[in-house]
């Protein structure tokens, strides 16, 4: 049976099906690596709870749809990558993001990654953004490696999984949200500043760097300035971009462009309602958070950022976007989403989501989870924060031709340490 794609899915699928738009998680397990056959057997047991993985997306014509893949074979999607002992984590991640997806059927792949450490291995789930947003990918990880729920009836792959109400806010908040959507479209059409459009990198030019923190660090830092974990994440990004851009050399160096004005960061916001964790596809909207000027003192910059994100959370954008996607013609929604994702209005994409705690495979616990973000067309870098239990991993996906980008994760960690050493200010 065919099931219509939503217009946001169609936009991501129409952008490009190259690996820059592939996202996922790199789950690190403590223990001895299993055989590929053992992993395949485990996934085969869990697959009935994830019928989405057996469906392919078809675009073009009068509308896109999902349909069961007639030639689906799980073995086509389960692969392995053995690396030399001692390979650094960032090199492992870089090798992973350069790998193509399965060439036939649904656009996803699971890799067993081993050899780089004697007492650790990884399982990496990667999926095209046109099939899944971050919350959806987190649900896949929970079903594959979380505790099974015998009382839960497996889905049948029909519909988009939404069960909540269409309108999740009152008229006033919905109106505010609709106005926010309009403001975002205006910014996409006539941005206050035209940011340079980067060339899409070939697979061999993609690279990743990563760093870690604890959720407690970010929570306490954000709370100390009246903000949240996301505010602390963005403030450390502000510090990292400030240090990185300071080394720019000349007008043709993108680092210099980042230094000359406040940086608008595009962020996805989930529009899922409670109980819709298993909804298939993309259920999100986006907003732009402008980082403060680099000349502003850190404490003052933190206060500005917290004020900006608080207004973002209260402007009704999520419930209004949810309703508009359901009510307006698909062609209009696709046009709107393309305007909202314009690289000329924002040079980078930053996302933040969480995995369930206590994931495991064969009693081997997940000790860390590294996010694999997406590189939107026209952007030269993106950053993603992924929480898993008490641990947080931050990764940057970038075009390796971007000077000094390999240092961004280390600069983010240094910025977080510097912010931790500041005196907190009373919440307003």
Q: Can you give the residue ranges of every domain in the chain?
A: 3-145, 171-355+378-420
pLDDT digits (tens, 9 = 90+) for 279-289: 999 999 999 99
Q: Which of 55-59, 112-116, 258-262, 339-343 has the highest mean pLDDT?
A: 112-116
- % the chain with pLDDT above 70: 93
Question: Which of helix, strand or coil describes residue 95?
Answer: helix
318: tokens are 């999520």
Does the pLDDT at position 82 exceed 50? yes
Question: Which of helix, strand or coil describes residue 207?
Answer: strand
| Local confidence band at 159 (pLDDT 50, 70, 90 cut-offs) | very low
pLDDT in the model for residue 311: 84
| Local confidence band at 312 (pLDDT 50, 70, 90 cut-offs) | confident
Same fold, 3-145 and 171-355+378-420: yes
pLDDT in the model for residue 162: 60
Does the pLDDT at position 1 exceed 80? no
Mean pLDDT, to the nearest integer, of 170-181?
86
Does the pLDDT at position 66 exceed 70? yes
Q: Which residues contact 97 (CB under 8 A, 6 or more apart)?
A: 19, 22, 206, 207, 208, 372, 397
Mean pLDDT, to the nearest integer, of 290-310?
92
| Local confidence band at 427 (pLDDT 50, 70, 90 cut-offs) | very low
According to CATH, what is the number of the domain 171-355+378-420? 3.30.559.30
Q: 128 phi and psi, to 5 degrees?
A: -70, 140
What is the pTM for the complete model shown? 0.93
pLDDT in the model for residue 352: 96
pLDDT digits (tens, 9 = 90+) for 189-206: 777 778 888 888 999 999
Does the pLDDT at position 152 exceed 70? no
d(CA 414, CA 232): 13
- The mean predicted confidence, pLDDT, of the chain is 89
pLDDT in the model for residue 79: 96
| Local confidence band at 166 (pLDDT 50, 70, 90 cut-offs) | confident
Question: Which of helix, strand or coil describes residue 214?
Answer: strand
pLDDT in the model for residue 103: 74
Q: What is the DSSP string of 294-360?
A: TTS-HHHHHHHHHHHHHHHHTS-HHHHHHHHHHHS-HHHHHHHHHHHT-TTT-SEEEEEEEE-S--E
Neighbouring C-alpha atoms within 13 Å toward the C-beta of 112: 18
pLDDT digits (tens, 9 = 90+) for 353-381: 999 988 999 999 999 999 999 999 999 99
DSSP letter at 211? E
3-145: CATH architecture: 2-Layer Sandwich (3.30)
Question: Which of helix, strand or coil describes residue 69?
Answer: coil
Mean pLDDT, to the nearest integer, of 135-164?
72
Hey, CA dihedral for 111, 117, 121, 124, is it positive or negative?
negative
């Amino acid at each position: 049976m065919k099931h219509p794609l939503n217009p946001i899915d169609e936009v991501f699928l129409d952008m490009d099906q190259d690996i820059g738009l592939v996202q996922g998680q790199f789950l690190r397990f403590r223990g001895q690596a299993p055989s590929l056959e053992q992993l395949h057997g485990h996934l085969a047991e869990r697959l009935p709870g994830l019928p989405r993985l057996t469906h392919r997306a078809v675009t073009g014509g009068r509308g896109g749809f999902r349909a069961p893949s007639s030639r689906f074979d799980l073995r086509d999607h389960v692969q392995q990558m053995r690396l030399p002992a001692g390979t650094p984590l960032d090199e492992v991640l870089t090798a992973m993001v350069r790998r193509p997806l399965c060439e036939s059927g649904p656009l996803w792949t699971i890799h067993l990654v081993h050899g780089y450490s004697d007492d650790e291995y990884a399982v990496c789930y990667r999926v095209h953004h046109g099939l899944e947003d971050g919350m959806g990918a987190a649900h896949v990880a929970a079903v594959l490696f979380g505790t099974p729920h015998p009382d839960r009836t497996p889905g049948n792959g029909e519909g988009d999984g939404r069960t909540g109400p269409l309108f999740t806010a009152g008229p006033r908040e919905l109106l505010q949200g609709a106005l926010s959507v309009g403001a975002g479209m205006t910014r996409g059409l006539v941005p206050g500043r035209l940011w340079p459009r980067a060339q899409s990198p070939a697979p061999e030019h993609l690279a990743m760097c990563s760093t870690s923190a604890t959720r407690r660090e970010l929570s306490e830092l954000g709370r100390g300035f009246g903000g949240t974990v996301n505010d602390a994440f963005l403030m450390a990004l502000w510090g990292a971009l400030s240090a990185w851009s300071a080394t720019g050399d000349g007008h043709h160096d993108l680092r210099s462009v980042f230094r000359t004005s406040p940086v608008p960061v595009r962020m996805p916001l989930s529009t899922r309602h409670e109980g819709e964790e298993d909804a298939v596809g993309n259920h999100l909207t986006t907003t732009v958070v402008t980082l403060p000027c680099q000349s502003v003192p850190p404490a003052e910059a933190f206060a500005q950022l917290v004020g900006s994100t608080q207004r973002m959370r209260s402007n009704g954008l999520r419930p209004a976007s949810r309703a508009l996607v359901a009510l307006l013609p698909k062609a209009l929604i696709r046009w709107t989403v393309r305007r909202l994702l314009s690289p000329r209005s924002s040079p980078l994409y930053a996302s933040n989501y969480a995995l369930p705690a206590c994931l495991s495979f064969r009693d081997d616990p997940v000790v860390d989870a590294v996010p694999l973000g997406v590189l939107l067309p026209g952007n030269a870098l993106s950053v993603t924060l992924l929480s898993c239990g008490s641990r947080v991993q931050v990764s940057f996906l970038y075009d390796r031709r971007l000077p000094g980008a390999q240092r961004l994760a280390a600069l983010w960690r240094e910025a977080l340490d510097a912010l931790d050493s500041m005196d907190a200010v009373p919440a307003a």
